[in-house]
Amino acid sequence: MRGLLDLLDLLLGWKAWRSGAVSTGAGAAVVWRRIRYVAGNRLSIGQNSIIQANIRFEDRGGEIRIGDRSYVGKSDLVCYRSIVIGNDVIMSWGITVTDHDSHSLDWEHRKNDVLDWGRGRKDWAHVAHGPVVIQDKAWIGFNVSILKGVTIGEGAVVGACSVVARDVPPHSVVVGNPARVVRKLGSSG
12 dihedral zone (left: phi>0; alpha: psi -120 to 50; beta): alpha
Q: What is the pTM of this model?
A: 0.88
Who's near 131: CB < 8 A, 6+ residues apart? Answer: 81, 82, 83, 84, 99, 149
| Burial status of residue 158 (CB atoms within 10 A of its CB: 0-12, 13-18, 19 or more) | buried
Each residue's pLDDT, cut to its tens digit, for the chain (189 residues) gives 555 545 444 445 445 555 567 888 999 988 877 787 777 899 999 999 999 999 999 999 999 999 999 999 999 999 999 999 999 999 999 999 999 999 999 999 999 999 988 888 888 999 999 999 999 999 999 999 999 999 999 999 999 999 999 999 999 999 999 999 999 998 764
- DSSP symbol at 24: E
Q: Which of 130, 52, 47 is nearest to 91 (CA)?
A: 52
Q: Strands, E, within the chain: which ranges?
A: 22-24, 29-30, 35-36, 42-45, 50-51, 54-57, 63-66, 71-72, 76-79, 82-85, 90-91, 96-98, 132-134, 139-140, 145-146, 151-152, 157-158, 163-164, 172-175, 180-184
Q: Which fold has domain 2-184?
A: UDP N-Acetylglucosamine Acyltransferase; domain 1 (2.160.10)
N-terminal to C-terminal alpha carbon distance within the chain: 42
Active-site choice (100, 103, 126, 171): 103
Domain borders along the chain are 2-184
Catalytic residue status for 103: yes
Q: Which of 166, 144, 159 is nearest to 94 (CA)?
A: 144
